[in-house]
């Protein structure tokens, strides 16, 4: 009985969280991030302002769900013996392109990215999240490389991943279906990691 009640509470919490997130996303898409207040989101989601903050620490976190949540440092740290960091990351993002991107809601992705791009404050917050992600990757790589080398490798990987994300978004914004965009992303991912592994000289050999 206790376990059933605990499970019910958790489901209700998740439903509330998803309702708040859906309401916020809708308001941001309609009016822009800066024009929407936390009080308006709470009222539209039918929760108290204090309740909203138990699920989301600030307004930025509502708009940046998913940004910076990817974990390249974790992928590298958890890789099996004998696999290089780049091999582990290639396999991870190859799987991501094949299994997840094709099922995304195109309109939702475009709306969320436009909200971020249209708000300087939100773009700055997103950049900070990505910077922390890059720093964590450098920290993990520093276990096998000198610090400067680890920092430079992490910077190259982070720039590559950001470029892949931007390319995918632009494909969707230009009218590509999620499946077609995911197929292109898979090809771009292979090229990106070929370049990371072998450098630009390989392009001259093809």
pLDDT digits (tens, 9 = 90+) for 58-113: 888 888 877 756 789 999 999 999 999 999 999 999 888 877 665 677 788 888 88
Whole-number Å distance between alpha carbons of 201 and 206: 9
- Which residues belong to CATH 1.10.10.60 in the chain? 2-62
Whole-number Å distance between alpha carbons of 135 and 112: 25
Quote the pLDDT of residue 64.
85
What's the whole-model pTM score? 0.78
Whole-number Å distance between alpha carbons of 159 and 134: 9
Which CATH architecture fits 72-205? Answer: Orthogonal Bundle (1.10)
Q: Band the pLDDT of 192: cuts 50, 70, 90.
A: very high
179 vs 203, higher pLDDT: 179
Whole-number Å distance between alpha carbons of 31 and 118: 11
Quote the pLDDT of residue 204.
52
- Mean pLDDT value across residues 124-152: 92
- Which residues belong to CATH 1.10.357 in the chain? 72-205
Which CATH superfamily includes the segment(s) 2-62?
Homeodomain-like (1.10.10.60)
Quote the pLDDT of residue 134.
94
pLDDT of 206 strictly over 60: no
Quote the pLDDT of residue 203.
55
Q: What is the 3-state secondary structure (H, E, C) of the chain?
A: CHHHHHHHHHHHHHHHHHHHHHHHHHHHHHHCCCCCCHHHHHHHHCCCHHHHHHHCCCHHHHHCCCCCCCCHHHHHHCCCCCCCHHHHHHHHHHHHHHHCHHHCCHHHHHHHHHHHHCCHHHHHHHHHHHHHHHHHHHHHHCCCCCHHHHHHHHHHHHHHHHHHHHHHHHHHHCCCCHHHHHHHHHHHHHHHHHHHHHCCHHHHHC
């Amino acid at each position: 009985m206790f376990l059933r009640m605990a499970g019910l509470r958790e489901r209700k919490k998740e439903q509330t969280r998803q309702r708040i997130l859906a309401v916020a996303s809708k308001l941001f898409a309609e009016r822009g991030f800066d024009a929407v207040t936390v009080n308006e989101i709470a009222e539209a989601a039918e929760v108290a302002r204090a309740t909203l903050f138990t699920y989301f620490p600030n307004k930025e976190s509502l708009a940046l769900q998913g940004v910076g949540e990817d974990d390249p440092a974790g992928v590298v740290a958890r890789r099996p013996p004998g696999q290089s960091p780049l091999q582990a990351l290639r396999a991870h993002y190859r799987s991501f392109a094949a299994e997840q991107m094709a099922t995304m809601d195109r309109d939702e992705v475009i709306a969320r990215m436009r909200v971020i791009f249209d708000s300087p404050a939100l773009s700055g917050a997103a950049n900070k999240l990505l910077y922390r992600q890059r720093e964590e990757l450098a920290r993990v790589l520093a276990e096998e490389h000198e610090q400067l080398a680890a920092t430079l490798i992490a910077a190259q990987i982070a720039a590559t991943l950001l470029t892949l994300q931007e390319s995918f978004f632009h494909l969707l914004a230009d009218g590509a279906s999620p499946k077609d965009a995911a197929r292109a992303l898979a090809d771009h991912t292979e090229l990106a990691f070929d370049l990371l592994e072998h450098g630009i000289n390989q392009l001259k050999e093809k």
